[in-house]
Amino acid sequence: MKLAFTTLGNPDWSFDKTLDEAQRMGFEAIEIRGIEGKMRADEITQFLEQNQYETKAKLASHKLEICGFGTSVKFDEFDKYEDYMAEGKTAIDICS
């Protein structure tokens, strides 16, 4: 198991600051739950398809892995079911 932290505690940090701080504090992994104020996976530019290679390289250069990708998906708000399913599917696609 890797020592990790979540970006939920600092969702306004840039991706580079997040990586620098994680490395400085001795973490080995990060759970992504917000970068630069963006909370949805499809809004975080580092995880858009055209940026994923660079993102992986930055993680590797900091000796970090992603251990999880958090979402706001809920199953108790039936009127928002379609929105939550779309958000969840998008996050899954980005992770795969």
- How far, in Å, CA of 51 to CA of 75, rounded? 31
The whole model's pTM is what? 0.85
Phi, psi at residue 65, to the nearest 5°? Answer: -125, 160
Question: Up-side HSE of residue 95: CA atoms within 13 Å toward CB?
Answer: 18
**What is the enclosing helix (H) or strand (E) of 32?**
strand 29-32
* pLDDT tens-digit series, residues 2-50: 899 999 999 899 999 999 999 999 999 999 999 999 999 889 999 999 9
pLDDT at 72: 86
- List the strands of the sheet with 29-32, edge to edge: 4-6, 29-32, 65-69
Domains of the chain, residue spans:
4-95
pLDDT at 96: 79
- Are 31 and 69 in contact by the 8 Å Cβ rule? The answer is yes
